[in-house]
Structure 1
Amino acid sequence: MQVYKIPISVLVVIHTVDLRVLLLERADHPGYWQSVTGSQNPGETLQQTAAREVREETGLNTANYILRNWEIQNHYKLFEEWRWRYPPGITHNTEHMFGLELPETIPVVISPREHLGYIWLPWQEAADKVFSPSNAQAIRILASERKSKKFPINRTQDET
């Protein structure tokens, strides 16, 4: 029996105080770099989803750092190649942005099933390297909001 993903996900930008950003290279698409992402499981809160995805994809325990729900949502069209993971007829996903602040860059343990490698980059380079427009936007929001100290913010984006 096919178990479909829920079209609700998290994007967690893992960053340092000085705005270096962790990126992961997708195993199913070499050359596609991204922040931690993942779909919500039934019964999970968004905070639990974010913590689980960070642990699964990097080995980091969010309880040891500052995990913030940015209260920003993106509603976007799913890439055609990944729609089979969702129930028939589902074409869009709602993504909730989070940030995980670390005091400095540290080695992480990636999930080889999901990622080929990782890299820490200054926020500008990270925003340019990610394949997803919403991920690039999240990194730019991090830099902008961090400088103006406006966290948390509440914004909904529609990228149809």
Structure 2
Amino acid sequence: MIHTPDLQVLLIERADRPGYWQSVTGSLDTPDEPLALTAAREVAEETGLIAAEHQLDDWNHTIEYEIYPQWRHRYAPGVTRNTEHWFGLRVAQPLPVTLAPREHLQYQWLPWREAAALCFSSSNAEAVLQLGWRVRGQRAACGADL
């Protein structure tokens, strides 16, 4: 999830499902691809942003979920469940992004609670909601208040 220190969240609208908003998502290119490399690659592919220029954090959170039937054709035959690893990319302020036109139609930066309400995926919405305590925890550790 791409966000700012003041909890603005980048959401992108899927081209194959207009009205479906999400954060950056993606898959490993190879089974042994490091997760952080996958996250950085997907950020670049879907937004044009370079993760190394910002703060990429592994949230050390993994969930498994059932793949929507309409998207199972993207996976190997018989695969019905997916494992999701959560990462956050903190940027200093909302930035313009370059979308992959075959994947996404438009983007918007929203306050975190509004972004969570707009996410079509419940796991994506949960990740956005966790941003509140994750950033507050980071700020509290630094002596700052959100």
TM-score higher than 0.5: yes
- Please say if 1:17 is aligned against 2:17: no
Match in the other structure for 1:109: 98
Residue pairs, 1:1-160, within 5 angstroms: 13-42=1-30, 43-149=32-138
Q: Please say if residues 54 and 89 of structure 2, whose CA atoms lie closer than 8 Å, have aligned partners that are also in contact.
A: yes
| Number of equivalenced pairs | 138
**Displacement after TM superposition at 1:149 (Å):** 2.6
The residue matched to 2:89 in structure 1 has which SS? strand
Distance 1:61 1:148 in 2: 25
Instruction: Say which structure is richer in strand.
Output: 1
Distance 2:46 2:114 in 1: 21
Match in the other structure for 2:144: none
Structure 1 residues without counterparts, runs of 5 or longer: 1-12, 151-160
Match in the other structure for 1:158: none
Structure 2 residues without counterparts, runs of 5 or longer: 140-146
Distance 2:66 2:20 in 1: 18
Q: TM-score, normalised by structure 1?
A: 0.84
**Among the aligned pairs, what percent are the same residue?**
54
Aligned residue identity for 2:100: S
Aligned residue identity for 2:69: E
**Displacement after TM superposition at 1:144 (Å):** 1.5
Instruction: Say which structure is richer in helix.
Output: 2
Q: Please say if residues 14 and 105 of structure 2, whose CA atoms lie closer than 8 Å, have aligned partners that are also in contact.
A: yes
**RMSD, matched Cα:** 1.0
Could you list the per-position Cα deviations for residues 34-83 of structure 1 after superposition, in whole angstroms to 9, with x for gaps in the alignment? 00000111141101110110000000000100001100001000000011
Q: Please say if residues 57 and 87 of structure 2, whose CA atoms lie closer than 8 Å, have aligned partners that are also in contact.
A: yes
**Displacement after TM superposition at 1:87 (Å):** 1.3
Q: Please say if residues 5 and 135 of structure 2, whose CA atoms lie closer than 8 Å, have aligned partners that are also in contact.
A: no
